[in-house]
Amino acid sequence: MLARPWVGEALGMTISLDELVAKALRRGAPTRDEALALLTDELDVLDVVAAAGRVRRHFFGRRVKLNTIINVRSGLCPEDCSYCSQRLGSTSDILTYSWISPVEAAEAADRAAQAGAKRICLVASGRGPGQRDIGRVAEMIEAIRARQPGVEICACLGLLKPGQADRLREAGVDAYSHNLNTNETRYADICSTHAFADRVDTVRQATGAGLSPCSGAIFGMGESDEDVVDMAFQLRELDPDSVPINFLIPMQGTPLEADWHLTPVRCLRILALFRFCFPDVEVRLAGGREIHLRSLQPLALQVANSIFLGDYLTSEGQPGADDRQMIADAGFTIEGTDEQTLPQARHDLVAIRRRGVGTDQPANA
């Protein structure tokens, strides 16, 4: 039994971590009150992490999946997302360049794979891809597969138009990443050039095309506990296969450059909440972990089963050698390319379409 399995006075109810774990092992989600309790001081953070760790180990053992980002086009984005150094009007002193070549992408992917990365994330700035851009991505994938045929390829290209997700799948993309970033109520506070519904639509298009959906959030933008819980529940409605948890990197030259509100304990609580909300889903420790979790990064591995290796889009990450050492020191192992990430039960939920348009079989409508 956990040392402190309950909390009650502040919320007017009793919250049992043992019961939350049992529910998560059945793939059930916490209630709203239970989720809120995980973010408060009424439950000791070590007890919360230990409980979330039981769920993590049940579904993912002691494996850590490594992912890497390749920024294939950087800066000069027409969107005005307040958190982003590539945004319209940003004065951040970042690298800006147009599309890199397939050879450069393949070389970067090769280095990452040799360092242990299982998934390569091709990320491009901009509102969304044009048809020519999808062709560019297809050429990059072909070059990457020639060197590293076993890696997963994830694309993150912005808002998708109808039919583009199908083209990406045909080009060899395995997954599509498009974060919701914050909850629907707050979305207009961080971006005015597109809406929350646009992001939801893109994730659904990717899922409908047979791409593995990857969608998460950014925390540290002034959200309340209620906002964090709203975000988790809204993401659950999309049923993603992977959920990146980013902690705001307050880049100079952006509207949120002074927003240094997070503490390591707050980050751990958010990660634990998402593990309970997504018990059998890849919860990825993403951007900002180094500067906000600091010395508690190894503790976060007790909750998250996936991390980004190396640098981010416009800021540098922890050296890969340090990440690999951290994983080993914490008693975890790096997940191999031949190992299945998601539990079999989740894989069984996905059926590749073999009927309807493009086949000689009738649709199921």
Q: Which residues define the annotated binding site?
A: 77, 81, 84, 121, 154, 214, 284
Q: What is the dihedral of CA 270, 275, 281, 282, to 10 degrees?
A: 60
- Give the span between the Cα atoms of 86 and 272, in whole angstroms: 30
Please give the annotated binding residues for [4Fe-4S] cluster, written as ranges.
Answer: 77, 81, 84
DSSP string for residues in 138-184: HHHHHHHHHH-TTSEEEEE-SSPPTTHHHHHHHTT--EEE---BS-G
Q: Which residues are annotated as a binding site for [2Fe-2S] cluster?
A: 121, 154, 214, 284
Helices within the chain (DSSP H only): 17-25, 32-38, 45-60, 102-114, 131-147, 164-170, 187-190, 196-208, 225-236, 264-277, 289-292, 297-300, 320-329, 344-347
* Contact of 6 with 14, CB cutoff 8 Å: yes
